[in-house]
Amino acid sequence: MASDPVVRKKLTGYVGFANLPNQVHRKSVRKGFQFTAMVVGESGLGKSTLVNTLFNTTLYPPRDPIPPSAERPQTVAIQSISADIEENGVRLRLTVVDTPGFGDFVNNDDSWKPILEDIESRFDAYLEQENRINRQKTVDNRVHACLYFIQPTGHSLKQIDIEFMRRLHQKVNLIPIIAKADTLTDEEVHSFKQRVLSDIHFHNIQIFQAPVYENEDEETLGEHEEIASKIPFAVVGSNQEVVTPDGRAVRGRAYPWGVIEVDNEEHCDFVKLRQMLVRTYMEELRERTDQVLYENWRTEKLVSLGVPQDSSVFKETNPAQRVAEERALHEQKLGKMEIEMKMVFQQKVQEKEAKLKQSEEELYARHRDMRDALEKQRSELEDKRRRLEGGRPLTPTEKTATKNTTRRFLRP
Ligand code: GTP
């Protein structure tokens, strides 16, 4: 479809729409922002410490390790913590989704599965809200970034790392992080990064790359390149203040041979990670989640439900497509409910059958007992009759027993 020609006009007086960016800014500030970050990695790699370091708060209390005697969970759990934080009047509803148990089992083959399910169920919840008539109060709980913590082995990626990233890279913005980088020397960090990157490349894994726009100024391009050159970020986390040999109080980790400063770019990539995640590209992360990752998931889902997707028509402006989508989703929901109801019905029938079988067995056992008792009494009576016929008188005890037995038999 050819687009209409655009005529360029110069205004002769002040109209006021140059103020639009400020209006958008004010509206966004008033509404606040929502951001959800997921942290994945084996336990003890410093996830909670890093999140607290990033947002400069104790948002995320470190968990006590599970004692060996305690019963261990069987699968990766998903937990989320939300907090409203404010900086210079800007409110941010930050949610951290933690995945305890990841990589902690003897068999970690399916560790990625509950995490993928969680990400998709958040997409599902968002889709449901989009299809509501009143879409004013849409809450965006989709995961906007996933910080994947790599153990600082100095070798290369492990199978579990590759599997996780391969399964999730098209569902979430992946940000790989080399945890506890202070346990490696500078050369080790450098060569480890190269190996991690070549593994990522070899397995065609797409990690989050900040977009570069046309006509970007040199400063922005430089900043972009600098951040990109640090991926995977080799980080050190700490919320403790320590004093450097030259007397400065810094966030860092003190060792007998010196201090590692978290916020010093010569010591680790923490500053660049924060720049990417919070200061420069938070909006890009949200945008890519909405327009690429979620859109692809949504299209795939609706196509699988038999609703063709026309990518050239924006979903908001095509009522026929919207109605078809709503119907397909509604039918899917009904189908799911029907399956659930059938399952409940089957379960109830099974329970009833089991109960009936049990009462049948009880009745049968009672009948057998009664028959045995009668048989016993009959043989006792038979015995007594024979003795009476033989001429021996009954002893008083035998007389009472005979009376009782006869009475029992005569009882209606
Ligand atoms: P789980 O809650 O069990 O999943 O652990 P986690 O990954 O959240 O680790 P956590 O932040 O609780 O840190 C575990 C230990 O590692 C703590 O003793 C931290 O002080 C220490 N730690 C955290 N970050 C670093 C780091 O960058 N370098 C070093 N050397 N130790 C760290």
* Reported ipTM: 0.96
Q: How far is the CA of 180 from the centre of ligand 1 (A)?
A: 8
Pocket test for ligand 1, best of 43, 49, 104, 238 (most atoms within 8 A of CB): 49
**What's the pTM value of the predicted model, to 2 decimals?**
0.73
Q: Which residue has the least CA distance to atom 16 on ligand 1?
A: 46
pLDDT in the model for residue 18:
73
Tell me the torsion sign for CA atoms 367, 373, 377, 379: positive
Atom of ligand 1 nearest to the CA of 63: 2
> What confidence tens digit (pLDDT) does each residue in 11-40 have?
777 777 777 777 777 777 777 788 999 999
d(CA 304, CA 105): 34
Q: What is the pLDDT, as a whole number, of residue 12?
A: 73
Nearest to 294 by CA among 135, 143, 166, 97: 143
**Average pLDDT of the residues in 320-339:** 76
User: Residues 394, 402: contact at Cβ < 8 Å?
Assistant: yes
Ligand 1 close to Cβ of residue 180 (< 6 A): yes
Q: Which atom of ligand 1 is nearest to the CA of 235?
A: 27
Instruction: Determine which residue's CA is closest to atom 29 belonging to ligand 1.
Output: 180
Residue bearing the CA closest to ligand 1, atom 21: 46
Residue nearest to ligand 1 atom 31, measured at CA: 180
Rounded to the nearest angstrom, the gap between the alpha carbon of residue 272 and the centroid of all alpha carbons in its chain is 26
Its CATH class, for the domain covering 23-304, is alpha beta
Residue nearest ligand 1's atom 28 by CA: 180
Closest-CA residue to 116 (of 82, 151, 150, 76): 76
Neighbours of 102 (CB within 10 A): 27
267 Cβ inside 6 Å of ligand 1: no
Encoded tokens for 136: 């004013």
Q: Is the CB of 44 under 6 A from ligand 1?
A: yes
| Atom in ligand 1 nearest the alpha carbon of residue 98 | 4
**Which numbered atom of ligand 1 lies nearest the CA of 149?**
7
Is any ligand 1 atom within 6 A of the Cβ of residue 52?
no
Domain boundaries, given as residue ranges, for the chain: 23-304
Digit-coded pLDDT (tens) for 125-172: 998 888 776 666 778 899 999 999 999 998 889 999 999 999 999 999
Q: What is the CA radius of gyration of the chain?
A: 36
Q: Whose CA is nearest to atom 4 of ligand 1?
A: 43
| Minimum-distance ligand 1 atom for the alpha carbon of 43 | 4
The proportion of the chain whose per-residue pLDDT surpasses 90, expressed as a percent, equals 40
Mutate to test the pocket of ligand 1, among 42, 45, 241 (most ligand atoms within 8 A of CB): 45
Q: What is the pLDDT of residue 38?
A: 94
Q: Is 172 exposed, middle or buried (0-12, 13-18, 19+ CB in 10 A)?
A: buried
For 88-122, the DSSP string reads: TTEEEEEEEEE-TTTT-SS--TTTHHHHHHHHHHH
48 within ligand 1 shell (Cβ under 6 A): yes
Tokens representing 167 are 């399964």
Contact assessment for residue 281 and residue 242, using Cβ atoms and an 8 Å cutoff: no
Minimum mean pLDDT range among 52-56, 84-88, 231-235, 314-318: 314-318
∠ CA 169-170-175, nearest 5°, is: 35
Q: Which atom of ligand 1 is nearest to the CA of 268?
A: 27
* Between 87 and 165, residue with greater pLDDT: 165
The angle subtended at Cα 391 by Cα 390 and Cα 395, nearest 5°, is 110
CB count within 10 Å of CB 35 equals 21
| Cβ of 182 less than 6 Å from ligand 1 | yes
- Number of Cβ within 10 Å of residue 207's Cβ equals 17
Residue range 319-335: mean pLDDT, rounded:
74
Length of the chain: 412
Q: Is 47's C-beta closer than 6 angstroms to any atom of ligand 1?
A: yes
Q: Confidence band (pLDDT; 50, 70, 90) for 335?
A: confident
* Residue 148 and residue 233 in contact, taking contact as beta carbons nearer than 8 Å: no
Take atom 10 of ligand 1 and give the residue whose Cα is closest: 46
Task: Give the pLDDT of residue 409.
Answer: 53
**Alpha-carbon distances of 154 from 148, 175, 192, 228, rounded to whole Å:** 16, 18, 5, 21
Each residue of 36-63: pLDDT tens digit? 999 999 888 999 899 888 888 777 665 5
Report whether residue 201 contacts ligand 1, using a CB cutoff of 6 Å.
no
Banded model confidence at residue 192, pLDDT cuts 50, 70, 90 = very high
For the chain, the first-to-last Cα distance in angstroms comes to 98
Apex CA 327: angle with CA 326 and CA 330, to 5°? 85
Q: Rounded to the nearest whole angstrom, what is the distance from the C-alpha of residue 90 to the centroid of ligand 1? A: 30
